[in-house]
Structure 1
Amino acid sequence: MGIDFKAIEEKWQRRWLEEKIFEPDIKAKPKERKFYITVAFPYLSGHLHVGHARTYTIPDVIARFKRMQGYNVLFPMGWHITGAPIVGIAERIKNRDPKTIHIYRDVYKVPEDVLWKFEDPREIVKYFMKAARETFIRAGFSVDWSREFHTTSLFPPFSKFIEWQFWTLRDKGLVVKGAHRVRWDPVVGTPLGDHDIMEGEDVQILDYVIIKFVLEENGEEIYLPAATLRPETVYGVTNMWLNPKATYVKARVRRNEREETWIVSREAAYKLSFQDREVEVLEEFKGEKLIGKYVRNPVTGDEVIILPAEFVDPDNATGVVMSVPAHAPFDHVALEDLKRETELLLRYEIDPRVVEEISYVSLIELEGYGEFPAVEEVERLGVKSQKDEKKLEEATKTIYKAEYHKGIFKVEPYAGKTVQEAKELIAKELQERGIAEIMYEFAEKPVISRFGNRAVIKIIHDQWFIDYGNPEWKEKAKEALADMTIYPASRRAQFEAVIDWLEEKACARKVGLGTPLPWDPDWVIESLSDSTIYMAYYTISRHMNRLRDEGRLDPEKLDREFFDYLFLEEFSGERERQLEEKTGIPAETIHEMKEEFEYWYPLDWRCSAKDLIPNHLTFFIFNHVAIFRREHWPRGIAVNGFGTLEGTKMSKSKGNVLNFIDAIEENGADVVRLYIMGLAEHDSDFDWRRKEVGKLRRQVERFYELVSEFSGYEAEETELKDIDRWMLHRLNRAIEGTTQALEEFRTRTAVQWAFYSVLNDLRWYMRRTEGRDDKAKRYTLRKLAEVWVRLMAPFTPHISEELWEKLGGEGFVSLARWPEPVPGWWNETIEAEEEFLKSLIEDIKEIIRVARIENPRRAYIYTAPDWKWRVAEVVAEKRDFKASMSELMKDPEMRKHGKEISRMIQRLIKERAFEVKRIDEEKALREARDFIEKELGVEVIINPEEDRGGKAKQAMPLKPAVFVE
């Protein structure tokens, strides 16, 4: 029968909550010993899965570690319910959407009687807030639950805090009104933030230049707007591409005072109607209707033919593509393919000679290429046809990147300019002349809102934005970032890039849950805008919650003055008395709130997953530097990776999700925590494998059994043997390694040290001491147990509490002193001797295996003579043949071994064997002879006078010569 982990977990979770051990008191320790860590609160549209488990377990492990180091630790938690997704779910359940019903009934296991209440978004919030809290408690998270809150106007005190934040930003000119492109749900009629997107959250919005080629039809000028990301190449257009099977429309397009007739794909007409254009469709037809006709290039005046191309995607930009084969690999290969399709050309009444005689136009000078870089790159990669899509994409990427960064434009009036310069100038000129416009398009498709609708890009007028493009604000954000610690450090460059490219961001919606914009309540502040400085609210939230519970809080009285004082001003008894009169909150409580903020701020660590770098985590920096004093700017951000399930990306719709709570039920919280923490470092992704979790559970059970056994031993001081000293030295190593790793959020390395390293060392120690039952061994194992339980406490807190109790530890292990290396336990020599023995045993086993020695009887071991040690030490110091040889030849005794020394130096330098710690090999062998003989099943003879098999001369330091018979 296995260990009842669930009973152990419930016991300690109950005791932690009853004794409120994770609710810090600011009077308990000075500010220098405070540690404030937060993690992005979860969005509650469903249950948390094991991918979320990683995000939330990391800060808990760090919080527990720092608490044991003697810090006053604040680790609070709240719930995010702002935005459109929850409203969208309620709408889909109301409409009995089968996909949504499946997710919530079958994947999230919501009871049927509860599920139909989800037509009201508040019921969704209520259900999943309760479930999330239970999951966090069941996971053993050391959260200060006295500070719990949730977002939106459903929780008025926090809503007033958000109003204060937005008034403050607006006063600084950082919330502005204007026109901007946004992702838009055309069915619901609302802008979409990152958290409002179900599919395609990270898809980039591209700015296409659409150049209006002219088709003469019955004396009328009709425009075919060709979309391009490279407007400078308009000078090299040889033909146009349309998809003959796609549906195109002739439409009347009105923009500002201008009205024109356009031909674009049907999909493009729909999308353009959201981008400041009135689009009236006059006629629909297949693209084949226009194949073979000619259009005029509005820049060069050239007449170019329209050719058929099924590769043209009518759902990408305008569905009209200009062909520049000298500089676009796809265009070149498409033309070459078309030349071979004579029947197709004749079907469209196109003379094949017209295609054959198309002349390429060279526009860009590029080092390493001739006139037509696209042609050369296609030939270099061996592209045979358009079917070689991967090679064509590679060629396109190579050419576009090289030309953009290194190309020189050759066409007047832009000749001699870099392609980067020419591109900007040409795009600007074409728009000024009215022959080009901008169209916005998603880089990839589809982008689906959480309402289940396909998003478009819309130009919004009278929209409220946070102006992240403000240059002064950007500089302050960069200053803050420069002073912050980022884990992993490799992510710093991404933060810098995001700060650079961020522009205005829509901060309010017309639908969804949230806090109304205080000066324009028809708008609701969206989810990525009300979640940037709530870490400051946590510092006062326990007081807010207490006042609220006691019925002594009127949120309407929490005006700007109240929050200004708490977060921005200096302490003032007079201000506190004034605010008491205004708010009804006792002056002493207001003083305590301010004390809490000043004590806990700045925030030491913000933790979240890497997908939030382009939005939330960077907004967090911006908003802090805009609102708070410099001394309150955040100190660090730790970024983690994602999780997959059995090698596959988790997907609710496909049922490929493991809920966090189900993983806990199945394996126990401590096993889940240890497994996730040991899988990946920093922002590396991890893969949940049920089979591997099962293996780990058995190892955790073994940990529990071993420490339980050792808890019965007395730690009496006694004379220790070398192997006991080795075990204690290795414990010091584990303490040092775990501590260093946790200081840098390297949880995988920490688990390797705290769990696997100790477990493996203990196995070796038990092998080495098999048959012994003396005071020294019991002392060593008792000391190991006392250290090991504390090292494991951040990872497996419940089991560790239980074992700490068995060991007779004082209070909770969660509050026990973090172990520090014991100076008297360090012993590098004994460690080197033990590694020497391990290595030797493995070498002899390998000799027996390779030589296929059946029933070996004896092993003769020859250790290196003293002069070889001297050589190794000199080489380790000099790391150079001549210098080493010169030093050694000064000694007459060494000169006797001149040739051997020369060969040995060459070998050591070749093998880069520069690490050497001298040990008494013979002593170590003689003391461990019985163990070696038992391990190998042979008699061991150490340094006999007779040189068996002539092996003795091969002995090297730490690498004895061996002869087995």
Structure 2
Amino acid sequence: MEKVTDRYDPQSVEVKWQRIWEEQGTFHSETDAALPKYYVLEMFPYPSGRIHIGHARVYSIGDAVARLKRMQGFNVLHPMGWDAFGLPAENAAIKHGVHPAKWTMENIDTMRTQLQRMGYSLDWRREVTTCLPEYYRWEQLFFLKFLEQGLAYRHKAAQNWCESCNTVLANEQVENGLCWRCDTKVEQKELTQWFLRITKYAEELLQDLNGLEGGWPERVVSMQRNWIGKSIGAEIEFALEEPAEDATQSIRVFTTRQDTVCGATFMSLAAEHPLVEELIAGSSREAEVRAFCDKVRNMDKMVRGAEDLEKEGVFTGRYCLNPFTGRKMPIWVANFVLMGYGTGAVMAVPAHDQRDFEFARKYDLEVLPVIIPEGRTMDGATMTEARPEPGLLVDSGPFTGMDNEAAKVAVADHLEAHGLGRRAINYRLRDWNISRQRYWGAPIPVMYCESCGVVPEKEENLPVILPLDLQVRPDGRSPLPDAQDFVQTTCHLCGGPARRETDTMDTFVESSWYFLRYTAPWEDGKPFRAEDLAYWCPVDQYIGGVGHAILHLLYARFWVKALRDLGYVAMDEPFKALLAQGMVLKDGAKMSKSKGNVVSPDEMTQRYGADAVRLFLLFAAPAERDLDWSDSGIEGAQRFTHRLWRLVTDLAPDLTAVAPCSASAQDAQAAKVPEAVTLRRKEHATVVKVAGDIADRFQFNTAISAVMELVNTMYQVKDVLRTTDAGKKMLSSAVASTLVVLSPVTPHLCEEMWQLVGHADLLSHQSWPAHDPQALIQDEVTIVVQVDGKVRSKMTVAADASGEQVQREALASENIQKHISGREVAKMVFVPGKLLNIVTRK
């Protein structure tokens, strides 16, 4: 073969192979029940303008897995699409004076080109775009089905409102009291909104996390558990002292400490509790209480729930009665009580709860201990802090003397027997508010008729299309309410005039089911095909940032369970395994335009080549950790690609197109040099390590390091081996293995060199090499010999040499004798196959 000496040109090589892969449909996948499937999916991007280096990292991770799994014989589904609705596009459109649709579709075209230039093995035939009617028509259908089943409902309540975005936010979209998108302080606003009843699935969402342990990161599972927030306790009714005949008669509380009920001395209500207005109406305290409530409602909920919050409250002037003691309990509104937990009412037991204790001391309320650790005494008047520890009940009527855990059961029994309450389970999780008062989103398919009320759209009329001839408003308010052609419609029940819902769906609705649509995106008559869903789902490996640990993942899990109960899918969970990759930083900081530290994938690809960028992103840090971008690091990655190119082009005249791992032990013996055995062992060990590191552990950095070591070995032995036919066969086999196992990381370079050494078929179609276990067995090993922790020698011994043999040979060495001369050997520490440390004393 003619020797190739040209310098490697990544630009021409990469474009060449991308064109060939596209022309041949190399990465197209079809449902085939005869083949084992593997569905690998990266979270789809928002079309914000251009891909950033974080995108390049996550898709490089997913692509390496997809390519390796294909080689391992799996039928791989690796699709791509666009999370195309939402506030960022609308806000960008306002800023730039263009329509959100135009902005979005132009960005998609740009980002698609960028991703294709990176050479990712995606099946672009399956591309979905969530802002297109052919996509969102199906989520409108799901909404109607949810409405039929009571999973969707309309409700008026105080909502999280972002003044800047002009829309409500779900609880999960409020971070430290601020809008998750724009960091504007979130306020409370009374609105009627559409909700999805995710709380119906709270227990299943919690229990099914057990089956995800091991496949999902422990911290993500923990975050979901905490967000669902299950508490086991009791609901207790506290009768109002003087209720009006036609008004509320009691306050219901949820508590996990029903054993302390006899120590409840006052009642605390959340500022948002609906009973507050009823209690203060027409009273002398009305203005004072209402002003306090207004102030507290707009406080950051995280601050309100913090342990170190200064406790504040206001007395309503009303009382309730302790159902066990008959005690009159003053009813207060307290800043630390949240409507989002329990019932929004707390029976305050200051002797045994620190927040209640601090509040009681501030407002001179009674502290009454009712649980005393055995052998202790407790005086409420002199206590300096609450005592929540277990003990025996005192001053608790028939429960006095009981262990407090036994008392929890007895109190619950008493509640239920006497109609005072019941055992209960509470969840922190609240129903999902999907109404958004913005334009760029999927229309909610209902109308409002004066005669018929809320009227769901007929299924055959779907999709309700978002009109694209409207202009976005500078202040972000939706133009839909003023779009008469959209709003005015006819009620299909009575034929009278009706108006369409002008709220649009939360964009998390689109991302809650897109992975299902990928299985048959060309299907026009239904959202999925049963045979495709049954074959491809669930997703085997999902990859994305930990920032979606609650929002997206929780909603997607709920959506799958709801669709299962509607008969659309036959699975319980959408994602079997999850990899939460780290961010890409620059100089230790998150990249942003304002900091001037943004790294452009386009620029890096143009300068170094896509393969070098991919290599650096996978090599510089473990996948789950943050990666600090380094110019020297990307240059090092480029140097390695050129080094491999030089090696293969130098050897090309001596190489033949053989299969990976095809050189046998007999071939190695025929070469009659120890370097042949060394190279074969390294070749087979690398094949094993790369497969395990990528497919099983996602340790791309150590996999790449192993390939680099194999390349180093070939450089060391090539001049000896290329002198004989047997040696050339050893090199040919090792080069083939190198190209195959590195191709998931640097596919263009490896395809080009695969062709260069004479292979006629695509490298992308090759099977993963089958290693020879015997090749991994070493006859000899190198032992590092230390004296008092310092390396003094290295020695080669038989792989099965005993510790005694190694010690004898080491002590017989002149070099070691020189370093222990005049000293006594105190002990010797032997690590088989690696190390001997001789410890001395004078």
Residue in 2 that maps onto 1:11: 16
Give 1:148-547 correspondences, 5 Å limit: 148-152=127-131, 155-170=132-147, 173=149, 175-179=151-155, 183-185=159-161, 187=163, 188-192=166-170, 197-198=180-181, 254=277, 261-262=285-286, 263-264=288-289, 266=291, 268-269=293-294, 326-329=351-354, 360-365=367-372, 371=378, 411-412=396-397, 418=405, 504-518=431-445, 519-520=456-457, 522=501, 523-541=503-521, 543=522
Determine whether 1:739 maps to 2:676.
no
Q: Which of 564, 568, 572 lines up with 1:625 in the alignment?
A: 564
Give 1:557-572 correspondences, 5 Å limit: 562-563=525-526, 567-568=529-530
Residue in 2 that maps onto 1:811: 761
Distance in 1 (alpha carbons) for counterparts of 2:113 and 2:620: 25
> C-alpha displacement at 1:144, in angstroms?
1.4
Kindly tell me: are residues 371 and 599 of structure 1, through their superposed partners in 2, closer, same or farther at Cα, counting changes over 3 Å?
same
Residue in 1 that maps onto 2:452: none
> C-alpha displacement at 1:828, in angstroms?
0.8
Q: Which of 66, 73, 76 lines up with 2:76 in the alignment?
A: 73
Q: In structure 1, give the amino acid aligned to 2:684.
A: N
Q: Which of 693, 697, 710 lines up with 2:651 in the alignment?
A: 710
Determine whether 1:729 maps to 2:706.
no
Kindly tell me: are residues 625 and 288 of structure 1, through their superposed partners in 2, closer, same or farther at Cα, counting changes over 3 Å?
closer
Q: Name the TM-score, length of structure 1 as normaliser.
A: 0.55
Kindly tell me: are residues 529 and 313 of structure 1, through their superposed partners in 2, closer, same or farther at Cα, counting changes over 3 Å?
closer
Q: Contact 2:266 / 2:347 at 8 angstroms: preserved in 1? A: yes
Give 1:786-865 correspondences, 5 Å limit: 786-822=736-772, 826-830=775-779, 833=780, 836-837=781-782, 839-840=783-784, 843=786
Aligned length: 675
Distance in 1 (alpha carbons) for counterparts of 2:761 and 2:618: 26
Q: Contact 1:515 / 1:524 at 8 angstroms: preserved in 2? A: yes
Q: Which of 102, 120, 130 lines up with 1:123 in the alignment?
A: 102
Distance in 2 (alpha carbons) for counterparts of 1:47 and 1:375: 65
The superposition leaves residues 644-665 of structure 1 with CA deviations (integer Å, 9 ceiling, x where unpaired) of 5143455677666545545545
> C-alpha displacement at 1:190, in angstroms?
3.6
> C-alpha displacement at 1:143, in angstroms?
1.1
Q: In structure 1, give the amino acid aligned to 2:738.
A: W
Q: In structure 1, give the amino acid aligned to 2:24.
A: E
Distance in 2 (alpha carbons) for counterparts of 1:865 and 1:57: 39
Larger Rg: 1
Residue in 1 that maps onto 2:26: 21
Q: Contact 2:38 / 2:69 at 8 angstroms: preserved in 1? A: yes
Distance in 1 (alpha carbons) for counterparts of 2:767 and 2:30: 18
The superposition leaves residues 785-812 of structure 1 with CA deviations (integer Å, 9 ceiling, x where unpaired) of 2111110111111222222232222233
Distance in 2 (alpha carbons) for counterparts of 1:705 and 1:166: 59
The superposition leaves residues 660-690 of structure 1 with CA deviations (integer Å, 9 ceiling, x where unpaired) of 54554565432333333345667x3323232
Kindly tell me: are residues 563 and 333 of structure 1, through their superposed partners in 2, closer, same or farther at Cα, counting changes over 3 Å?
closer
Kindly tell me: are residues 32 and 329 of structure 1, through their superposed partners in 2, closer, same or farther at Cα, counting changes over 3 Å?
same
> C-alpha displacement at 1:821, in angstroms?
0.9
The superposition leaves residues 919-946 of structure 1 with CA deviations (integer Å, 9 ceiling, x where unpaired) of 9999xx9xxxxxxxxxxxxx98999xxx
SS in 2 for 1:38: strand
Q: In structure 1, give the amino acid aligned to 2:617.
A: I
SS in 1 for 2:432: strand
Residue in 2 that maps onto 1:719: 671
SS in 2 for 1:630: coil
Q: Contact 1:663 / 1:672 at 8 angstroms: preserved in 2? A: yes
> C-alpha displacement at 1:269, in angstroms?
1.3
CA RMSD of aligned residues (A): 6.2
Residue in 2 that maps onto 1:134: 113
Q: In structure 2, give the amino acid aligned to 1:69.
A: Q
Q: Contact 1:44 / 1:80 at 8 angstroms: preserved in 2? A: yes
Give 1:648-663 correspondences, 5 Å limit: 648-649=589-590, 658=599, 660-661=601-602
> C-alpha displacement at 1:733, in angstroms?
1.7
Distance in 2 (alpha carbons) for counterparts of 1:160 and 1:76: 21
Give 1:882-921 correspondences, 5 Å limit: none
Residue in 2 that maps onto 1:586: none
Distance in 1 (alpha carbons) for counterparts of 2:796 and 2:171: 73
> C-alpha displacement at 1:25, in angstroms?
5.2
Q: Name the TM-score, length of structure 2 as normaliser.
A: 0.62
The superposition leaves residues 585-634 of structure 1 with CA deviations (integer Å, 9 ceiling, x where unpaired) of xxxxxxxxx7x667656655444444345524423542452333538986
What are structure 2's unaligned runs of at least 5 residues?
A: 1-5, 174-178, 187-222, 241-250, 300-310, 446-455, 458-463, 465-500, 657-662
Q: In structure 1, give the amino acid aligned to 2:124.
A: W
Q: Contact 2:61 / 2:618 at 8 angstroms: preserved in 1? A: yes
The superposition leaves residues 235-260 of structure 1 with CA deviations (integer Å, 9 ceiling, x where unpaired) of 7689999xxxxxx99x9964599666
Residue in 1 that maps onto 2:628: 688
Kindly tell me: are residues 802 and 180 of structure 1, through their superposed partners in 2, closer, same or farther at Cα, counting changes over 3 Å?
farther
Q: Contact 1:409 / 1:422 at 8 angstroms: preserved in 2? A: no
Q: Contact 2:561 / 2:571 at 8 angstroms: preserved in 1? A: no
The superposition leaves residues 823-868 of structure 1 with CA deviations (integer Å, 9 ceiling, x where unpaired) of 6x615133xx1xx32x24x64897676xxxxxxxxx89898999x9
Distance in 1 (alpha carbons) for counterparts of 2:647 and 2:295: 69
Q: In structure 2, give the amino acid aligned to 1:816.
A: Q
The superposition leaves residues 876-899 of structure 1 with CA deviations (integer Å, 9 ceiling, x where unpaired) of xxxxxxxxxxxxxxxxxxxxxxxx
Distance in 1 (alpha carbons) for counterparts of 2:278 and 2:685: 72
The superposition leaves residues 160-209 of structure 1 with CA deviations (integer Å, 9 ceiling, x where unpaired) of 333343444455x1533243768532542445485783259999699999
Distance in 2 (alpha carbons) for counterparts of 1:55 and 1:368: 60
> C-alpha displacement at 1:425, in angstroms?
11
Residue in 2 that maps onto 1:44: 47
Kindly tell me: are residues 954 and 810 of structure 1, through their superposed partners in 2, closer, same or farther at Cα, counting changes over 3 Å?
same
> C-alpha displacement at 1:335, in angstroms?
9.8
Q: Contact 1:664 / 1:672 at 8 angstroms: preserved in 2? A: yes
The superposition leaves residues 255-300 of structure 1 with CA deviations (integer Å, 9 ceiling, x where unpaired) of 59966644448574167599xxxxxxxxxxxx99999x99988758
Q: Contact 1:517 / 1:524 at 8 angstroms: preserved in 2? A: yes
Q: Which of 615, 639, 658 lines up with 2:554 in the alignment?
A: 615
Kindly tell me: are residues 653 and 165 of structure 1, through their superposed partners in 2, closer, same or farther at Cα, counting changes over 3 Å?
farther
> C-alpha displacement at 1:526, in angstroms?
2.9
Q: Contact 2:267 / 2:329 at 8 angstroms: preserved in 1? A: no
Kindly tell me: are residues 238 and 654 of structure 1, through their superposed partners in 2, closer, same or farther at Cα, counting changes over 3 Å?
farther
Q: Contact 2:676 / 2:721 at 8 angstroms: preserved in 1? A: no
Tell me whether 803-812 or 49-58 shows the greater mean CA deviation. Answer: 49-58
Determine whether 1:757 maps to 2:706.
yes
> C-alpha displacement at 1:701, in angstroms?
3.7
Q: Contact 2:254 / 2:345 at 8 angstroms: preserved in 1? A: no
Q: Contact 1:861 / 1:940 at 8 angstroms: preserved in 2? A: no
> C-alpha displacement at 1:640, in angstroms?
1.9
Q: Contact 1:650 / 1:657 at 8 angstroms: preserved in 2? A: yes
Distance in 1 (alpha carbons) for counterparts of 2:581 and 2:759: 36
Kindly tell me: are residues 177 and 237 of structure 1, through their superposed partners in 2, closer, same or farther at Cα, counting changes over 3 Å?
closer
Distance in 1 (alpha carbons) for counterparts of 2:743 and 2:675: 27
Q: Contact 1:860 / 1:942 at 8 angstroms: preserved in 2? A: no
> C-alpha displacement at 1:128, in angstroms?
2.4
